[in-house]
A and B are shown apart, each in its own frame.
Chain A
Amino acid sequence: MIEMSSVHHSALRHHGEETYPHECCGVLLGHAAEALNRVEAVVRAGNTRTDSAHNRYNIAPQELVRIQREARESGLDIVGFYHSHPDHPAQWSVTDLAEAHWMGCSYVITSVERGVAQQTNAFRLTGEGEDDKKFKDEEVRVVSAAAS
């Protein structure tokens, strides 16, 4: 399960609406556990795939290094990533799996149709490594901002 406040849930969905018809991407910071990844912050990232932003995203490693450093200073970890699928279901693709390497992290995908966010789904990357990695459907628990 991945848990986040309604504010964070709205933020990552709204990011996809802003970048439509291009894919948005970002990093989820918080606290990781086997059964529950809890999101404490949503950090927007730049999509370096300006050559094909309508169906590809990539976060520059240098930006990830900076985000991870700032997270560490705040006592947080990288617990997942989010991106959007313009005019496509919120389901992971072959490309999403091929490019996923953060085992144990949550990959959150939002379908954005004609500029409006639709479904937001999450998938936990499981496995020991590249040979047996797979995405498993993950429940998204959205809590009110006051309760989180």
Chain B
Amino acid sequence: MKIHIPTPLRPYADKQATVTVEASTVGQALEALTSTHPELKKHLYSDGGKLRAFVNVYLNDEDIRYLAAKEATPVKESDSLTIIPSIAGGRPSISPRGKRG
């Protein structure tokens, strides 16, 4: 199955945008990915071994956090995983008066 790598993590995946792995479950696919590209591990997982809060992993169009079987979810060769870091932000709560950017 394919794993799509976001732009910021490609330097740690031999600059590949997509990595193909052999796996039967979501967990096996991620394990295969980090085994082949060990530098990715610290960017995906905290020291406690959990996916970092801002790292979202989608099996096709579903967030693996909300799958009933989570990382034990079976996968097919035609499935794909997409790693997507969060994107958010915003201005400070108090705006300065009369200031322009």
Q: Which A positions have Cβ atoms within 8 angstroms of B?
A: 23, 25, 27, 32, 49, 52, 55-59, 61-62, 64-66, 68-69, 72, 77-79, 81, 83, 85-96, 98-105, 107, 109, 111, 113, 118-121, 125, 129-130
Contacts and interface: CB of A to CB of B under 8 A. Distances in A.
Interface of B: 4, 6-8, 17, 42-43, 52, 54-56, 58, 61, 63, 82, 84-93, 95-96, 99-101
A120 B8 CA distance: 23
A102 B87 contact: yes
Q: Is the interface of A mostly helix, strand, loop or mixed?
A: mixed
29 contacts: A27-B87, A49-B90, A52-B90, A55-B92, A55-B93, A56-B89, A57-B88, A57-B90, A58-B86, A59-B88, A61-B63, A64-B87, A66-B61, A77-B7, A79-B7, A86-B91, A89-B101, A90-B101, A92-B89, A93-B91, A94-B92, A98-B89, A101-B85, A101-B87, A104-B8, A111-B100, A118-B101, A121-B101, A125-B8
A54 to B, nearest CB: 9
Given A61-B56, A85-B101, A102-B7, 17 more contacts: A58-B86, A59-B87, A61-B63, A61-B84, A62-B61, A64-B56, A65-B82, A72-B17, A77-B7, A88-B92, A88-B96, A91-B101, A92-B89, A96-B89, A99-B88, A99-B89, A104-B7
